[in-house]
Amino acid sequence: MDKAKREKLLDLFQSKLDRPMRYYLDVCTRCGLCKDACFAYASVPKPEYTPVWRAEVVRRIYKRYFSLSGRLFPFWGESKEIDEEALKQLNEAAYTCTGCRRCMMYCPFGIDTQAIQAVAKLLLIGNESEPEILSMLADASIEKGKSLDLYKESFIQGIKNLEKEVVAKWKGESDQVIPLEVEGANLLYVALAGAHSIIPAASIMNAARDNWTLSFFEAVNFGAFVGDPRKTQLIAKRIIDEAIRLKVKEVVICECGTAFRVMKHLVGKQPFEVSHIAEVMARYLREKRIRVEKDRIKGPITYHDPCQSARNGGVIEEPRYVLQHLTSDFIELTPNREYNLCCGGGGGLVALENEEFRQETGKAKVNQIKDTKATIVATGCENCHTQLGFLNEKYHTGVKVEFLTNMVANSLVLES
Amino acid sequence: MSDEIKADKTMDLKGLPCPQPVIKVSKGIKEIQVGQVLQAITTDPGALSDFPAWARTSGNEILKTDQGGGLITFWIKRVK
């Protein structure tokens, strides 16, 4: 590696070295309490899947260049040069970690492995060796924000084609089955760019007679997955600008854990509230704005807490409140809530060429589901849904993986 | 009309939710030569805006888009 490249990468590293990061890198005692917390290690007990191991390369580079001992005695102790070998190790660590932050719950010092992996990802982006597909998807999202007029008409046409299916679930009448561009709406619903994410939610919001409008942009933030802070902000900004332009009161994020966490917790205070669609469904039920038929969907049903919306986002009881209305045959996974095991698909991992890894490291989740004897696994995140479906196929678990919105939409009781 | 453009490779992406179709296509286009055409058949309406945005940023060209019978078909030329 030439000097200019090394300096560039060290500048990137430096940009991440705030007080919390220095603390995370300084205080680890290698006690190993984090290892059993990791879903990957729980499935395949290889040392390289432990959080402490994943953090070690970043920690050693930090020691080499940003500690006094490393600068004075670079060949002494556990410091590491930043070179091609180190970058390869960073890649293996960073893009096999879903950033679920379960290890943080068990670490006596609260070390945030996801934040440490964010350093690794930034160095890999600086080296242009991050997964190309994630950067490409992030760039496509940013492009849509820049040139919306080029894509608006085809999007509107695509949305029009969905209206029949919304009406079939909701059986109501409205001028706008899937409203767009409604200034002053209560809710701006930000879906994924797919029918499965729009039709059920539209049916529910129409059934609740809410004044809502659909975003032109997809919720998913590939900038966050790849670990690029600039792209993360640009992708989120498209939605923030749209919400401000339409003067909406609340931005509602679809079943996408990372999109919710970015908008709720990582973009600063905005002039609107941010909610997950599960919170909105719970509110509708609590206020009796929608009614659902209990046990129309036959159980037993369990619920997989998505890491980013539950442990890292705080949406824990609302999905359970919704499920209480849907079934009398609910059984919790063990462990659950903020201690739930990651499914292994988060952090954009489901978009990468890593099927063998995802299959192997999903074993703990498969066993957790099997133990419940549930026939349906509900969840509230696209990545989780994809990964759980993949595990279902590979391990023949015979469960049906369902989005909460779809279950609510299929259980709606329509007022006469 | 659709057979006016000869496809060198066809990808059946029916039933896949976004962004899976665009992920598959971005991999699939690398399996054809520059100048050749990939036909992608999807059912997801999100593809109508996702594919053009992807083509613009990846430097490929959408020659034609066709909708009918619940299917959305793209003919994409690999440009680089």
CA distances from A15 to A19, A84, A109, A128, A138 (A): 11, 21, 23, 17, 22
| Owning domain of residue B14 | 2-77
B57, B60, B62, B74, best to mutate vs chain A, most A CBs in 10 Å: B57
Chain A's closest residue to B47, CA to CA, is: A193
Chain A's closest residue to B46, CA to CA, is: A193
Chain B's closest residue to A348, CA to CA, is: B19
CB contact under 8 A, A140 and B22: yes
Closest CA to B73 of B27, B25, B26, B33: B25
Sort out which chain B residues have CB atoms less than 8 A from A165's CB and list them. Answer: none
CB contact under 8 A, B49 and A155: yes
**Shortest Cα distance from A165 to chain B (angstroms)?**
12
Buried b (16+ CB within 10 A) or exposed e, A320-354: bebbebbbebbeebeebeeebbbbbbbbbbbbbeb
Buried b (16+ CB within 10 A) or exposed e, A393-402: ebbebebebb
CB contact under 8 A, B52 and A151: yes
- Is residue B3 very low, low, confident or very high in pLDDT (cuts 50, 70, 90)? low
Sort out which chain A residues have CB atoms less than 8 A from B19's CB and list them. Answer: 137, 192-193, 218, 220, 351
- Here the tokens at position A183 are 């200034």
A133-286 shares its CATH topology with A291-413: yes
Domain boundaries, chain A: 3-130, 133-286, 291-413
CATH (one of 2.60.40, 1.10.10, 3.10.20, 3.40.50) for A291-413: 3.40.50
Closest CB from B44, B46, B58 relative to A136: B58
CB contact under 8 A, A140 and B18: no
Sort out which chain A residues have CB atoms less than 8 A from B53's CB and list them. Answer: 140-141, 143-144, 147, 151
A252 contacts chain B (CB < 8 A):
no
Active site residues of B: 18
State how far the Cα of A116 lies from the Cα of A170, in Å rounded to an integer.
46
CB contact under 8 A, A194 and B45: yes
Closest CA to A226 of A124, A135, A352, A114: A135
Residue A22 CB partners (closer than 8 Å, separation 6+): none
State how far the Cα of A393 lies from the Cα of A342, in Å rounded to an integer.
18
Residue B1 has pLDDT above 70, yes or no: no
A352 contacts chain B (CB < 8 A):
no
Give the pLDDT of residue B19.
78
pLDDT in tens, B12-61: 999 887 778 888 999 999 999 999 999 999 988 888 888 999 999 999 99
Pair A292, A340: CB distance under 8 Å: no
Sort out which chain A residues have CB atoms less than 8 A from B43's CB and list them. Answer: 195
Divide the 416 residues of chain A into consecutive groups of 10 and give the mean pLDDT of each group.
95 97 96 95 95 96 92 84 96 96 97 97 97 93 91 87 88 83 97 90 96 95 96 98 98 97 96 98 97 96 98 98 98 98 94 93 97 98 95 96 97 82
**Shortest Cα distance from B8 to chain A (angstroms)?**
23
CB contact under 8 A, A192 and B17: yes
> Exposed, middle or buried: residue A301 (CB in 10 Å: 0-12, 13-18, 19+)?
buried
CATH number of A3-130: 1.10.1060
Task: Count structural domains, chain B.
Answer: 1
pTM value surpassing 0.90:
yes
**CA diameter of chain A:** 79
B36 contacts chain A (CB < 8 A):
no
**Shortest Cα distance from B43 to chain A (angstroms)?**
9
CB contact under 8 A, B45 and A133: no
State how far the Cα of A247 lies from the Cα of A241, in Å rounded to an integer.
10
B58 contacts chain A (CB < 8 A):
yes
CB contact under 8 A, A140 and B57: yes
B27 contacts chain A (CB < 8 A):
yes
A141, A147, A153, A154, best to mutate vs chain B, most B CBs in 10 Å: A154
- CATH number, domain of B63, equals 3.30.110.40
Give the pLDDT of residue B13.
94
CATH class label, A133-286: alpha beta
Closest CB from B17, B50, B56 relative to A196: B17
